[in-house]
C-alpha cells in the first residue's frame, strides 16, 4: 500500500513537474558578459530565481564576449536568428530599434520608479530597454596633489571652471613631478572617445549632432563652441599636458597609480583598482565646466526585447524581476558599477553613504547626459573618434571638424534622416 | 692568399650567423615575452614592459594566470573546437583540392584551363566581401543529421568546416606541384592498366609529401586563426573557437596576464602541428619556392 502511494505520488509529482515545465515558454537571453565570471554568476542567479518562481516563462542564457557582441547581434539579425531578450549598449539601442532588431518593451512605469533616467532607453517616445546599472567618469586626483599644488577642491556645486582646470594642469606640469599633468585615456579607443570626451565638447556648448532635429551636425560639431573645444583639445597635446594617441596602454592602466600623471580622466570601474593600487587619498572630482555646465557621459548596458520576439511581455517580466534592488546591489558589489536606484546604492559596499565610490552616484545623478539618441549615433561616434584623434595629432581643427560634419551629414542623408 | 680566403670565409660565416641570430631574436622575443608575461601578475607585467625584465622570469612568478584563464573561459572546449574544426577541414581540403588539381593536370576535359583560371582568380577576392552573402546562404541551407531534417547551419561544426574545404590556393599549390611530376610515370602507369583513381592514390599522392605538408600548414593556420566567420555564424559557446574565445579576456580592466596565459595555451597546437610537418614543409619550400 505504501509502495503504491509512493508510486502515485511520484507519478503525480513527475507529471506535475513536466506539466509546469511544458507550460513555461523559454526565452533566450544574449548577454555581453562572457568572460566576466563574477557577472556571469550574478546573472545566473537572477535567471535561476526567475525560472524557479514562475510557471509561464523561463530564461536561458547565452553569453558573448563584449568585444564581439554587437557584431554577433547584427549578424544574427541578418540571418534571422535573434533571441528573445537582447542585451544592448545604451547609445546603440536607437540604431537597433530603428533597424527593427528591437521592439518596444511593455514594462510598467511602476517598475522603473526611482531609476536613474539614463538607465532607461527611450526611442521614438517608447521605452525599448532598461539597465541595471550606470557608469560614470570623474577626474581622478590625489588629495595630496591638490594640497601640494594649492588647488581648490572642486565640488558638484562648484566644479572647476575651464580656466581653473587649465591652471591646475599648468601647476602640475610646472611642478616637474609628473610625466604628464593629465591622462585623458588616449590609449583606449572606440566608444571611449565619444563617451568620455564628447562631454567636454558639450560643456563648451557644442555637440556631436544637432539634437533639436538630429538631421545635421552643422553648427553643433563645427560651430564657434566646437572650434573652441577643438583648439582646447589640441592644446592639451601641443602644450605637453597629456600623452597623445601613442600612449602605452600599460601607462593608461597604471600611470596614475604609479604617479606618472597628476590627474586621470577615468571611469568608476577603475576606482577600486586605484584604491587597491595604493592610492589611498584618491578623490573623484567632477568634470570641469567650460561655460555650458559640467557634463559626463551616460548610458550603459540594458535589457530589451528583440524585434522578432513573440513574447515581449515575457521579456518585460524578466526585466522587472532583474530590476530588484538586491540584484542591482549584487551587480554593483560584484563588478563595481553604479546601481540604478538610490535604494540599491544604499545596499552596496562602495556606493552607500561613506562608500569609497559614493561620489560617482552623485556625479551620475547631477551631470549625466546620454549620448545623442539617434540611430545615426553609431556612425557619428566613429567619425567623432577619428576627428579627435586627428586633432590630437596636429590636424587643422576647423578643417577636421568640417570634414567630420560632412561625413555625419552624408550618412544621415543616405539613411533618409534615420526616422526622426 | 689561402689565409685571406680563410679569413673571408670566417667573416662571412660570422656575419651570416649574426644576421640569422638577429632575425631569430626578432621572431622569438614576442613569444618569450608572451610566455614570461603569462606567469606574472598584471601590475608587474605592465611595469616590466619598459625594461628587459619583460623577457625574464623574474619577480612574482606563478601559474595563477593559467588557473584564472581556465576559470574565466572554457579554454579546453575552445581549443578542442578549433583543433577539431581545423583538423577536419585540413584533411577534407587536402583530399578534395588534390583531387581537383589531379583532374586539372592529368585529365583532358573541355574548359579545364578556363575553370582553373577562375578558381585562381578567387584568390584575390577578400573573404570579407562574401561573408554576408555566405552567412545568408548557410542560414537557409537544409541539413539531414542525427536530429533529422533541419534548416540552417548556424551554430554547428559543419558551418565552420564545409565552406572552407575547397579553396583556390590549395588547388593552385597542388596543380603547380603535379605539373612538375614526371609525365612518364603517369603514362607508364596508364600503359600498365592502372585506373585514374589508382594513379591518384598509388602514384601521385605518395610523391606529394612536400606539397601536402605545405598545403596542410597553410590551411591549418588559416583555419586555426578564424575569427570573423565563426563570430557571425556561431552564437553558442559550445561551438566557439579559440580566436573568438580570446575576446573573453578583454574586459573593462583587461587581465593581461590571463591574456598571455591563454595565448600561450592556444599557441601549443600550432607549434606541435608545425613541428610534426616541419621537415616536409622545408623540403617543399626548397623544391618549389613556395613561401609560407
Percent of chain B surpassing pLDDT 90? 81
Whether A216 has a pLDDT exceeding 50, the answer reads: yes
DSSP assignments along A26-68, one per residue: EEEEEEEEET-HHHHHHHHHHHHHHHHT-SSEEEEEEEEEHHH
Q: Note the Cα A136 to chain centre separation in Å.
A: 7
Spell out where A112-167 has E strands: 120-123, 126-130, 133-134, 137-142
Asked if B158 reaches chain A (Cβ–Cβ under 8 Å), the answer is: no
Q: Comparing C-alpha atoms, which of B129, B119, B229, B226 is closest to residue B167?
A: B119
Whether A243 has a pLDDT exceeding 60, the answer reads: yes
Q: Which three cell numbers stand for residue A148?
A: 601640494
Q: Which stretches of chain A sit within 8 Å of chain B by CB?
A: 30, 34-37, 62-68, 71-72, 75-76, 78-81, 248, 250, 253-254, 258, 267, 269-270, 273, 277
Average pLDDT over residues A380-387: 98
Q: Comparing C-alpha atoms, which of A228, A96, A99, A241 is closest to residue A171?
A: A241
Report the distance separating Cα B16 and Cα B22, nearest Å: 10
Average pLDDT over residues A340-350: 94
Q: How far is B129 from chain A (nearest CA, A)?
A: 14
Q: H or E element: which one contains B148?
A: strand B148-151
Do residue A64 and residue B235 have CB atoms under 8 angstroms apart?
yes
DSSP at B181? S
Do residue A62 and residue B237 have CB atoms under 8 angstroms apart?
yes
Whether A5 has a pLDDT exceeding 60, the answer reads: no
Do residue A253 and residue B237 have CB atoms under 8 angstroms apart?
no
Do residue B154 and residue A250 have CB atoms under 8 angstroms apart?
no
Q: Where are the alpha helices (DSSP H) in chain B?
A: 2-37, 42-48, 64-72, 75-106, 112-121, 127-138, 158-161, 168-179, 183-191, 196-198, 209-224, 228-233, 242-245, 256-288
Do residue A34 and residue B251 have CB atoms under 8 angstroms apart?
no
Q: What is the pLDDT of residue B290?
A: 47
Whether A12 has a pLDDT exceeding 50, the answer reads: no
Average pLDDT over residues A222-243: 98
Do residue A35 and residue B249 have CB atoms under 8 angstroms apart?
yes
Q: What is the pLDDT of residue A94?
A: 97
Report the distance separating Cα B257 and Cα A300, nearest Å: 27
Rounded to the nearest 10 degrees, the angle between the axes of helix A325-335 and helix A37-52 is 160
Q: Which of B46, B69, B70, B74 to mutate to test the interface with A (most CBs of A within 10 A)?
A: B46
Q: What is the pLDDT of residue B50?
A: 83
**Helix, strand, or coil here: B243?**
helix
Average pLDDT, chain A: 92
Q: What is the pLDDT of residue B5?
A: 65
Q: How far is B6 from chain A (nearest CA, A)?
A: 49
Question: Residue B203: is it exposed, middle or buried by C-beta count within 10 angstroms (0-12/13-18/19+)?
Answer: middle
Whether A14 has a pLDDT exceeding 70, the answer reads: no
CATH architecture assigned to A137-296+376-419: 3-Layer(aba) Sandwich (3.40)
Taking CA atoms, what residue in A is nearest to B227? A68
Q: Comparing C-alpha atoms, which of A203, A200, A201 is closest to residue A217?
A: A201
In the numeric block, the cell 544592448 is attached to A88
Of A34, A80, A254, the CB nearest to B139: A80
Task: List all residues 6 or more positions away from B221 whose beta carbon is below 8 Å from its beta carbon.
Answer: B270
Q: H or E element: which one contains A165?
A: helix A162-175
CA distances from B8 to A220, B4, B13, B19, B184 (A): 71, 6, 8, 16, 46
Average pLDDT over residues A239-253: 93
Do residue A62 and residue B247 have CB atoms under 8 angstroms apart?
no
In A, which residues are within 8 Å of B253 by CB distance? 253, 269-270, 273
Q: What is the pLDDT of residue B255?
A: 86
Q: Which three cell numbers stand for residue A344?
A: 540599491
Task: List all residues 6 or more positions away from A46 whose beta carbon is below 8 Å from its beta carbon.
Answer: A321, A322, A327
Whether A315 has a pLDDT exceeding 80, the answer reads: yes
Q: What is the pLDDT of residue B288?
A: 54
Domain A26-134+299-365: CATH class, spelled out: alpha beta
Do residue A254 and residue B47 have CB atoms under 8 angstroms apart?
yes
Q: Would you say B223 and B164 are in contact if contact means Cβ atoms under 8 Å apart? A: yes
- Indicate the range of A169-178, A206-215, B123-132, B249-258 predicted with least confidence: B249-258
For residue range A98-115, what is the model confidence (pLDDT) as tens digits? Answer: 999 999 999 988 889 999
Task: List all residues 6 or more positions away from B62 whose beta carbon is below 8 Å from its beta carbon.
Answer: B39, B41
- Interface contacts A/B by beta carbons within 8 Å: 80
Q: Which three cell numbers stand for residue B84?
A: 577539431
Within this chain, domains A26-134+299-365 and A137-296+376-419 share the same CATH topology: yes
In the numeric block, the cell 565619444 is attached to A194
Q: Which residue has the higher pLDDT, A344 or A109?
A: A344
Q: Where are the alpha helices (DSSP H) in A224-263?
A: 224-238, 249-258
- To 5 degrees, how large is the angle CA B281–CA B285–CA B291? 100
Q: What is the pLDDT of residue B252?
A: 66
Q: Would you say A115 and A100 are in contact if contact means Cβ atoms under 8 Å apart? A: no
Q: What is the pLDDT of residue A13?
A: 46
Q: Which three cell numbers stand for residue B233?
A: 555564424
Do residue B72 and residue A80 have CB atoms under 8 angstroms apart?
no
Going from N- to C-terminal start, the domains of chain A cover 26-134+299-365, 137-296+376-419
If one counts every other C-beta atom within 10 angstroms of the C-beta of residue A283, the result is 17
DSSP at A356? T
Taking CA atoms, what residue in A is nearest to B246? A65
Report the distance separating Cα B242 and Cα B81, nearest Å: 8
**Long-range CB contact pairs, A112-117, < 8 A, 24+:** A112/A323, A114/A341, A114/A342, A114/A343, A115/A323, A115/A340, A115/A341, A116/A338, A116/A340, A116/A341, A116/A364, A116/A365, A116/A368, A117/A368
Whether A342 has a pLDDT exceeding 50, the answer reads: yes
Q: What is the pLDDT of residue B6?
A: 63
Counting as low any pLDDT under 70, the low residues of chain B are: 1-6, 252, 284-292
pTM of the model: 0.84
Rounded to the nearest 10 degrees, the angle between the axes of helix A224-238 and helix A397-414 is 130
A360: left (phi over 0), alpha (psi -120 to 50) or beta: alpha
Instruction: Report the complex ipTM.
Output: 0.81
Q: Comparing C-alpha atoms, which of A301, A338, A381 is closest to residue A64?
A: A301
Do residue B247 and residue A37 have CB atoms under 8 angstroms apart?
no
Do residue A72 and residue B232 have CB atoms under 8 angstroms apart?
yes
Report the distance separating Cα B111 and Cα B96, nearest Å: 19
Taking CA atoms, what residue in B is nearest to A78? B136
Amino acid at each position: 500500500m505504501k509502495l503504491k502511494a509512493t508510486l502515485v505520488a511520484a507519478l503525480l509529482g513527475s507529471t506535475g513537474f513536466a506539466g509546469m515545465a511544458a507550460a513555461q515558454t523559454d526565452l533566450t537571453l544574449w548577454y555581453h558578459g562572457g568572460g566576466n565570471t563574477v557577472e556571469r554568476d550574478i546573472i545566473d542567479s537572477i535567471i535561476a530565481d526567475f525560472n524557479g518562481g514562475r510557471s509561464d516563462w523561463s530564461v536561458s542564457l547565452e553569453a558573448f564576449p563584449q568585444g564581439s557582441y554587437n557584431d554577433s547581434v547584427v549578424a544574427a539579425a541578418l540571418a534571422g536568428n535573434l533571441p528573445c531578450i537582447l542585451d544592448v549598449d545604451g547609445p546603440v539601442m536607437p540604431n537597433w530599434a530603428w533597424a527593427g532588431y528591437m521592439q518596444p518593451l511593455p514594462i510598467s512605469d511602476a517598475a522603473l520608479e526611482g531609476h536613474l533616467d539614463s538607465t532607461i532607453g527611450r526611442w521614438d517616445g517608447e521605452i525599448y530597454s532598461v539597465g541595471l546599472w550606470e557608469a560614470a567618469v570623474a577626474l581622478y586626483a590625489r588629495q595630496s596633489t591638490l594640497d601640494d599644488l594649492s588647488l581648490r577642491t572642486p565640488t558638484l556645486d562648484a566644479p572647476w571652471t575651464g580656466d581653473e582646470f587649465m591652471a591646475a594642469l599648468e601647476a602640475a606640469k610646472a611642478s616637474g613631478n609628473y610625466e604628464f599633468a593629465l591622462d585623458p585615456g588616449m590609449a583606449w579607443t572606440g566608444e571611449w572617445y565619444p563617451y568620455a570626451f564628447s562631454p567636454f565638447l558639450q560643456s563648451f556648448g557644442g555637440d556631436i549632432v544637432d539634437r533639436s532635429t538630429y538631421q545635421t551636425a552643422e553648427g553643433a560639431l563645427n560651430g564657434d563652441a566646437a572650434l573652441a573645444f577643438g583648439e582646447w583639445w589640441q592644446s592639451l597635446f601641443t602644450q605637453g599636458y597629456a600623452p597623445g594617441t601613442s600612449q602605452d596602454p600599460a601607462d593608461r592602466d597604471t600611470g596614475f597609480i604609479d604617479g606618472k600623471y597628476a590627474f586621470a580622466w577615468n571611469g568608476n570601474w577603475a576606482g577600486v583598482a586605484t584604491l587597491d593600487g595604493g592610492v589611498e587619498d584618491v578623490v573623484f572630482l567632477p568634470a570641469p565646466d567650460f561655460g555650458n555646465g559640467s557634463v559626463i557621459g551616460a548610458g550603459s548596458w540594458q535589457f530589451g526585447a528583440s524585434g522578432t520576439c513573440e513574447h515581449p511581455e515575457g521579456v518585460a517580466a524578466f526585466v522587472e524581476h532583474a530590476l530588484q534592488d538586491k540584484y542591482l546591489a549584487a551587480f554593483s558589489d560584484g563588478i563595481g558599477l553604479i546601481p540604478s536606484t538610490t535604494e540599491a546604492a544604499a545596499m552596496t559596499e562602495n556606493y552607500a553613504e561613506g562608500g569609497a565610490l559614493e561620489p560617482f552616484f552623485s556625479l551620475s545623478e547631477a551631470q549625466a547626459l546620454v549620448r545623442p539618441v539617434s540611430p545615426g549615433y553609431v556612425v557619428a561616434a566613429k567619425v567623432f573618434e577619428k576627428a579627435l584623434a586627428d586633432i590630437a595629432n596636429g590636424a587643422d581643427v576647423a578643417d577636421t571638424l568640417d570634414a567630420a560634419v560632412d561625413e555625419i551629414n552624408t550618412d544621415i542623408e543616405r539613411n533618409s534622416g534615420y526616422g526622426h | 692568399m689561402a689565409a685571406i680566403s680563410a679569413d673571408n670565409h670566417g667573416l662571412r660565416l660570422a656575419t651570416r650567423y649574426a644576421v640569422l641570430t638577429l632575425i631569430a631574436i626578432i621572431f622569438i622575443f614576442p613569444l618569450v615575452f608572451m610566455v614570461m608575461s603569462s606567469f606574472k601578475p598584471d601590475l608587474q607585467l605592465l611595469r616590466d614592459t619598459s625594461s628587459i625584465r619583460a623577457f625574464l622570469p623574474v619577480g612574482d612568478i606563478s601559474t595563477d594566470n593559467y588557473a584564472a584563464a581556465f576559470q574565466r573561459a572554457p579554454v579546453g572546449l575552445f581549443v578542442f573546437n578549433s583543433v577539431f574544426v581545423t583538423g577536419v577541414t585540413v584533411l577534407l581540403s587536402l583530399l578534395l583540392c588534390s583531387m581537383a588539381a589531379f583532374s586539372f593536370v592529368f585529365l583532358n576535359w573541355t574548359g579545364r584551363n578556363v575553370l582553373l583560371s577562375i578558381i585562381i582568380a578567387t584568390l584575390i577576392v577578400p573573404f570579407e566581401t562574401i561573408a554576408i552573402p555566405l552567412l545568408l546562404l548557410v542560414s537557409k541551407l537544409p541539413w539531414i543529421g542525427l536530429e533529422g531534417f533541419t534548416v540552417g547551419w548556424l551554430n554547428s561544426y559543419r558551418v565552420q568546416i564545409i565552406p572552407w574545404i575547397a579553396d583556390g590556393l590549395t588547388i593552385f599549390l597542388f596543380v603547380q606541384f603535379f605539373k612538375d611530376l614526371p609525365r612518364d610515370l603517369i603514362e607508364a602507369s596508364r600503359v600498365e592498366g592502372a585506373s585514374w583513381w589508382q594513379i591518384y592514390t598509388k602514384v601521385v599522392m605518395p610523391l606529394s609529401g612536400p606539397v601536402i605538408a605545405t598545403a596542410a600548414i597553410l590551411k591549418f593556420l588559416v583555419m586555426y586563426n578564424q575569427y570573423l566567420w565563426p563570430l557571425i555564424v556561431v552564437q553558442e559557446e559550445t561551438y566557439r573557437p579559440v580566436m573568438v574565445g580570446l575576446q573573453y579576456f578583454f574586459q573593462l580592466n583587461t587581465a593581461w596576464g590571463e591574456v598571455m596565459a591563454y595565448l600561450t595555451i592556444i599557441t601549443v597546437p600550432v607549434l606541435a602541428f608545425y613541428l610534426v610537418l616541419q621537415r616536409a614543409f622545408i623540403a617543399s619550400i626548397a623544391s618549389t619556392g613556395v613561401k609560407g
